[in-house]
Structure 1
Amino acid sequence: MATSAFEEIVDTFAFLDDWEDRYRHVIELGKAMSPLDEALRVPATKVTGCASQVWIHPVIEGGVFRFDGESDALIVRGLIAILAQLYNGLPVADVARVDALAEFDRIGLREHLSAQRSNGLRAMIERIRQSAAAA
């Protein structure tokens, strides 16, 4: 279950044969994201379990889930951008149904992440799921 925005990422990754091109694309996705307001970079929005500094700020309006995020690492910022494409705009009840790790496997990204980055990705996904469940 993926959004149409995420399907566009899947299509782009299918076009990019070289892992270095995919890596650069992830970084570009992160650079294109709007920065998270400094006032939202607080302990309550910080994601633990990531090697980098990561903040996820969920917003639920009218039963629709979205989040904004930030990281001090370019590649992690790109992972946040991909997660945003995967989750933003979903009904809050559907967030738990998304198998984000399987979706990342579809674009061949997880196999190229270090163990620390993979743990961080799982921590971000867990924070997103917890935020939606609490709504």
Structure 2
Amino acid sequence: MSALGQRDTEEDAQMATEAFEEIVEDFEFIDDWEDRYRYVIDQGKAMDPLDDALKVPATKVDGCASQVWLHPTIENGVLTFDGDSDAMIVRGLIAVLRKLFNGLSLAEVLAVDARAELERLGLNEHLSSQRSNGVRAMIERVRLVASEG
């Protein structure tokens, strides 16, 4: 494993969820990056807002330029999380991560090579360094919750 706890080989990596695969397929048909950003933002707009009562220090993700909250739930060994942000693009990135991880067992969450999966979307090259750091912080929070679950 790498320093970030990610799998080093493709054969060790868990395949992404079907919902995430749909995003990958949609991205294949969207050539323009502005349209891809709009798509990600639309994913965020489609999420239910996180209840204000859940926007507390315990759910706040440090390391993000904008305000970000992730509220995980583990039921029968399966992780789901809701989230919110005050930035539209970040809210969309939360939606993308939800589609990557939600519904997986804790072991499957830890097996996903999130960096490699997101690279399939080409997001790494098109996000600012601050946004990329924020995405890493969100992934680390999800992995931490799964490892402690």
Q: Residues 21-100 of structure 1: matches in 2 within 5 Å?
A: 21-100=35-114
Code of the aligned partner of 2:136:
R
C-alpha separation between the residues in 1 aligned to 2:124 and 2:87? 17
For the residue of structure 2 that corresponds to 1:22, the secondary structure is: helix
Alpha-carbon deviation of 1:93? 1.4
TM, length-normalised to structure 1: 0.99
Q: In structure 2, give the amino acid aligned to 1:29.
A: Q
In 2, the alpha carbon distance for the partners of 1:68 and 1:130 equals: 15
Deviation of the 1:94 alpha carbon: 1.1
Letter in 2 for 1:13: F
State TM-score, norm by structure 2: 0.89
**1:123 shift after superposition:** 0.2
Q: Report how far residue 76 of structure 1 moved.
A: 0.2
The number of residue pairs the alignment matches comes to: 135
State the alpha-carbon separation in 2 of the partners of residues 122 and 109 from structure 1. Answer: 12
Report % sequence identity. 70
Gap regions ≥5 residues in structure 2: 1-14
Deviation per residue, 1:71-115 (Å, 9 max, x gap): 000000000000000000001111111111111110111110000
- Partner Cα separation in structure 2 for residue 25 and residue 94 of structure 1: 27
1:52 counterpart letter in structure 2: S
Following the alignment from structure 2 to structure 1, what is the Cα–Cα distance between the partners of residues 88 and 113? 24
Runs of 4+ in 1 over 4 A off after TM superposition: none
